[in-house]
Amino acid sequence: MALIVPIDIAPAFAPREHVAAPDRLIAGGPAFRTWALDEALAEAAQWGQIRTGVWEATPGTTLSIKGDTFEFCHILSGRAEISEEGGATHSFGAGDSFVMKPGFVGQWKTLETLRKIYVIAAPVAG
C-alpha cells in the first residue's frame, strides 16, 4: 500500500455524476461530478474516515450542511460564494483554499463551473 497519493486534478476515469437533492436545491439546476481518489481509515481516535478527491459543480445554489464532518477545499477553477447561516459571505476562486468546520450550515452558490480538491474527515460512526 502506497503511503503517498498524488492528487490528479484531471482524473482519466469516469466521475460519479449527480444533482442536488431536492431538499438542498435553492436555485438553478447544478450538476455535480466527483472523482474519489483516496479513502483511508484515520488513526486518530475521533476520525473514522478521510476521503480525498476532485469535485466539480455547474452554476446554481444549494444548501450546504457539514454535520459532523470537517472539509478542506482548494479551488482549481471557477468561482463560488459561500454564505454561512447568520454570518458572512465569502467569495472563492482559483487558487483559494478554505475549511468548512463541523456544524457549518449555509448556502453554496456556484457562479462559474467550479472544480476543487477536497479532503473530508468524518467521525467514527457510533
Residue 3 has what pLDDT? 74
The whole-number average pLDDT for the span 80-103 is 96
Distances (CA, A) of 86 to 29, 63, 103: 25, 14, 13
Cα torsion angle, 95, 74, 111, 83, sign? negative
> What global pTM score does this model have?
0.86
The whole-number average pLDDT for the span 86-99 is 96
74, containing H or E segment: strand 70-84
Q: Is the pLDDT of residue 125 over 70?
A: no
* Environment class of 43 (CB within 10 Å of its CB; exposed 0-12, middle 13-18, buried 19+): exposed
* Domains annotated on the chain, with CATH: 26-123 (2.60.120.10)
59-71 per-position pLDDT tens digit: 999 999 999 999 9
Q: Which three cell numbers stand for residue 119?
A: 479532503
* Environment class of 85 (CB within 10 Å of its CB; exposed 0-12, middle 13-18, buried 19+): exposed
Residue 47 has what pLDDT? 66
Q: Which three cell numbers stand for residue 73?
A: 477545499
